Amino acid sequence: MSVHWGQPWALALLLLMPLWWWRNQVLAPRAALRHPLVQFVIPRLARRTSWRGWSSEVLRSLVLVLLILALAQPRWPDPEARLPSRALAWVLAVDISGSMAEEDFALDGRFVKRWQVAQQTLHDLLVGEANRLTGRRDDLIGLVTFAVYVQDLAPPTANHAALLYLLQQAEPISTPPESATNIGDALVVALRLLEHAQVPARRVLLLSDGEHNVPPEILKGARHPIEAAQLARSLEIPIDTIRIGPDPQALTDDRLRRDAETGQQIMRQVASVTGGIALEAADSDGLRRAIETWDRLNRPLHDRPDYYRYREAYPWLGGLALFVLLVSIFWERKVVLRVP
């Protein structure tokens, strides 16, 4: 079992031990003792070159070494404490463009904005709701919101209370042209947040109507969602998509139907390219079913070595240093220094 050091910098103090020995042996003043019978006392005093003098130095040095090792906090992991846990590092990339302000989703018997239903459903996903959603307490979750411009509100974190607060404060942007949808850049930002997450399982959950419609005169160089999907595939990070909005076949307006079909196709391609899953949410119940499906399919089982319980050695080293110190005091007073 390998030894870990809580404060490895403290081991550098061991390099000062030769200097400490040199000071005690060369620079330290020699002890003096007034006595009328010097010729009788001298043979009984311990000399620096005698074994008694050296033994005293060795004991004091051992005390310092033990204290330095205790300060460095050596420890080793307890293999019994490495428990399996269903956890995931994922980033929620959620659309707050103008389309999310459409009042075509029902909540508590009345039509409300898509965004309100999305907020409530995502809250239940994170916290849990009855027997249908158990919550994601062990997950590291990040948050990205986007319209034309992308906001990385939180990297993957275990502080879900702060995440829920940020999600609650977000609102759809209804003023053109900032109300357009920039899915490609949002996915790139989400992937950057996940790139250094120290968890084996990483994913992106994209919640959007799928219409990537950034005006080039507003934002030049915006990445296309498929380009972002190819980046995700190279990083081996699946992107799961939930298209929120009415079924394209149910729309009577030709332009709206074409836009919805295009968005639906983009969302499915993003999921297919990255190895994710593509889900549809045409209404409030559909969004709930999509979230439940995603929650059920993304419960990876893996060990979390970051949550090891460590067996600390510094209390034992500190106690041993105290014991050696008491022994050295007794040794110096009873053995090394004996005055008649």
SS (H, E, C) 191-236: HHHHCCCCCCCEEEEEEECCCCCCCCCCCCCCCCHHHHHHHHHHHC
CB 149 within 8 A of CB 182: yes
Cα–Cα distance for residue pair 291/135, rounded to 1 Å: 11
pLDDT in tens, 251-273: 888 888 888 888 899 999 999 99
- CB atoms closer than 10 angstroms to residue 19: 9
Cα–Cα distance for residue pair 202/320, rounded to 1 Å: 46
Q: Which helix (H) or strand (E) holds 295?
A: helix 284-297
Q: Which helix (H) or strand (E) holds 86?
A: strand 84-86
CB 324 within 8 A of CB 66: yes
Cα–Cα distance for residue pair 133/28, rounded to 1 Å: 73
pLDDT of amino acid 292: 92
pLDDT in tens, 220-254: 888 999 999 999 999 999 999 999 988 888 888 88
To the nearest 5 percent, what fractions of the chain are helix, strand and coil? 50, 20, 35
Please indicate, yes or no, whether the overall pTM of this predicted structure exceeds 0.85: no
**What is the architecture of the domain spanning 84-305?**
3-Layer(aba) Sandwich (3.40)
Cα–Cα distance for residue pair 333/321, rounded to 1 Å: 18
Domain layout of the chain by residue ranges: 4-79+308-336, 84-305
CB 127 within 8 A of CB 253: no
Q: Is 210 left (phi over 0), alpha (psi -120 to 50) or beta?
A: left
Q: pLDDT means per 10 residues in the chain (340 residues)?
A: 77 82 65 56 52 70 84 75 67 92 85 91 88 83 93 91 93 86 94 84 90 82 92 94 89 84 92 95 92 85 54 82 82 62
- As given in the structure block, the two tokens for residue 124 are 């239940």
SS3 for 4? strand
Phi, psi of 135, deg, nearest 5: 90, 160
Rounded to an integer, what is the distance from CA 242 to the centroid of its chain? 26
Phi, psi of 108, deg, nearest 5: 55, 40
Cα–Cα distance for residue pair 321/316, rounded to 1 Å: 9
Cα–Cα distance for residue pair 267/272, rounded to 1 Å: 9
